[in-house]
């Protein structure tokens, strides 16, 4: 009799333990305890670049909020398309996420074959920030204001050189949109990065460059090495209020900002996405992050844009906008 009771007790205990183990391993339980290990934030570009800088600024406060390290990993190559492809194929558990700039929207038009679909293969954590751009020329360029620039470019379009940081770079896209809106085709000069392009502009080897304030603000402020014809945002910059926008000078609707967003693989559970979004919001309101953004002549997007739906809607609109510009210019990266 005692043996039967012991056997029944052991059986009940084993069933109970087994049920507990199953519950602990269930998706719901895993989500409740997420995260319980480090999270990898994948960056499509090399260490030290603008997107990498943003990622490392966000990683520290996000880690503090989530209670686990956020490790920044640079996965470079193929114009920034290797990293998104990797994240799209990662396990949808929230432990691998992507931070990417507007290249997420331009890749579908630039590449004939893309190993991911920006609108189908991801979940959207939220928008991050917008970096303004500026239109510059070499110091001895003949034009002294925007109207003179337009007149000179339209008359001498075959002779005017427009530098950029490489195929698919935001500097190239800004230049393409400028040429598209004024109705000319300029001679483009691609470089391996924004630094070399800016150096040659200052050295007088090329005529024009459109690039981020994170690169151009210091040389604009010293007033000795370049001419600046306008900023690419709809409103003037608080850090450089005397520089007019291209929109107010006649290029109506001209709006180019190097925006960033955070993504996760498609199928990442809603509960995990909510925690990622909350951590991103905390990071964007961190005092040190805001201070560093200000130093780069930028700022975080309003909190109402730090949402899944806002990022997806913005991405779709940008894919449409840049697709038209890129196809009209006949540019291909592969």
Q: What is the per-residue pLDDT across 273-326, written as a single tens digit (0 to 9) for each? A: 999 999 999 999 999 999 988 877 788 999 999 999 999 999 999 999 889 888
Is 90 exceeded by the pLDDT of residue 264?
yes
39-43: strand order across its sheet: 70-74, 39-43, 96-100, 258-265, 122-131, 299-300
Residues 116-157: tens digit of each pLDDT = 999 999 999 999 998 899 999 999 999 999 999 999 999 998
Across 36-43, average pLDDT = 97
Residues 157-196: tens digit of each pLDDT = 889 999 988 777 788 889 988 998 999 989 999 887 778 8
Distance CA 229, CA 152 (A): 13
Is 90 exceeded by the pLDDT of residue 57?
yes
Q: Residue 269: its pLDDT value, please?
A: 97
Across 217-245, average pLDDT = 91
Long-range contacts: 220-223, Cβ < 8 Å, 24+?
220/134, 220/136
Tell whether pTM > 0.75.
yes
Q: Residue 16: its pLDDT value, please?
A: 47
Question: What's the mean pLDDT when you consider all of the chain?
Answer: 88
The SS3 of residue 229 is strand
């Amino acid at each position: 009799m005692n043996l039967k009771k012991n056997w029944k007790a052991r059986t009940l205990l084993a069933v109970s333990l087994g049920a507990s183990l199953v519950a602990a391993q269930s998706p719901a339980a895993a989500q409740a305890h997420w995260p319980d290990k480090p999270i990898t934030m994948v960056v499509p570009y090399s260490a030290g670049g603008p997107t990498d800088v943003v990622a490392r600024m966000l990683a520290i406060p996000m880690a503090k909020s989530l209670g686990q390290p956020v490790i920044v990993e640079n996965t470079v190559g193929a114009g920034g398309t290797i990293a998104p492809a990797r994240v799209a194929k990662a396990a949808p558990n929230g432990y691998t996420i992507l931070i990417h700039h507007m290249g997420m929207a331009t890749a579908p038009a630039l590449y004939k074959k893309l190993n991911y679909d920006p609108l189908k293969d991801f979940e959207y954590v939220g928008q991050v920030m917008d970096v303004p751009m500026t239109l510059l020329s070499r110091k001895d360029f003949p034009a002294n204001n925007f109207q003179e620039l337009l007149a000179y470019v339209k008359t001498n379009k075959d002779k005017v050189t427009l530098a950029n940081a490489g195929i698919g770079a935001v500097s190239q896209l800004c230049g393409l949109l400028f040429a598209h809106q004024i109705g000319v085709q300029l001679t483009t000069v691609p470089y391996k990065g924004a630094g070399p392009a800016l150096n040659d502009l200052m050295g007088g080897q090329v005529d024009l460059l459109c690039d981020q304030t994170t690169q151009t603000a210091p040389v604009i402020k010293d007033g000795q090495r370049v001419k600046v014809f306008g900023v690419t945002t709809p409103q003037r910059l608080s850090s450089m209020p005397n520089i007019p926008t291209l929109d107010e000078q006649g290029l109506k609707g001209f709006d180019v900002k190097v925006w960033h967003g955070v993504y996760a693989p498609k199928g990442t559970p809603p509960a995990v996405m909510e925690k990622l979004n909350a951590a991103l919001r905390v990071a964007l309101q961190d005092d040190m992050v805001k201070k560093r953004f200000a130093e780069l002549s930028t700022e975080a997007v309003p909190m109402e844009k730090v949402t899944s739906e806002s990022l997806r809607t913005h991405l779709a609109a940008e894919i449409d906008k840049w697709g038209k510009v890129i196809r009209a210019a006949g540019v291909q990266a592969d």
